[in-house]
Amino acid sequence: QMSAPVSPAAQNTGLVLLPDMQSEDTAWRGPLAAPRDSVVHHTALGVISAAWRLARDVLAGGGEAPFWSEPGGVIQQLFSYDGPVDSSSVLRRFHHLAKDCHRIVKSQPPMVRVRPPVKVFGDIHGQFRDMLLLMREFGFPTHRGGDIELTNYVFNGDFVDRGPHQLEVVSLLFALKVCYPSRVWLVRGNHEFRQINEHQGERGFLNVCNQLFPPAGGETEAAEAPRAQSPFFQFSHEVFDWLPIAALLGNPGRESVLVVHGGIGDGRFSV
């Protein structure tokens, strides 16, 4: 870390490397990473930075900020990285993340191979505060003060249902996958299936999505037709449908740890 800024006179701003000496801007993030100047990369990095700020500042101690208990308050914090936004802007930005996340996971195999060092998180179930606390204590997946350039992260399913901040968990996970597709791995659990979400009652992912981002017919349609689906729910499952079902951890040829979630489908599959 430099103790003083480098003078402009000492910077080779006009230096151009020969083609065979140039490296890809996305080298450690992987070939599937979105360009740094793209809208979706800006969105993903904004959400990650907002979450990192919550982990450091809001959860560092003291009283709880009011937005933690307000419906939709935390997700507003995540997507208001460049100023306050309304719910339609939140949904639009989330859609950007989901579309690019879908592109990435669709291009990756049903069993991913992950090199150490690696951290494995399981069964978050919408507990966003706990997720941030763990990251604050053991390292945050960001290249701005975190360890993502050196460490892989595996999130082993059951991101949603039950907890108070399910949409926030999904938003951060999608942002991480978009920003760091070769460092962050999302493994499908049994709660990343529509059939499970639809029968979880008041605290289920479908119901929570319908409350915060109602289906096309509005809140009335959501109330009268319990199976009507919020666009947030639909965007999420377009990604869930393509998630890998297992991660094999270890150096190439010496993989020794299989990470897979229980209760997936009817078991008539192999990895």
Residue with tokens 């499908």: 188
Distance from C-alpha of 7 to C-alpha of 58, rounded to nearest angstrom: 36
Is 191 one of the catalytic residues?
yes
Catalytic residue among 191, 199, 237, 261: 191
CB 117 within 8 A of CB 29: no
Tokens of 210: 């319908």
Catalytic residue numbers?
A: 191
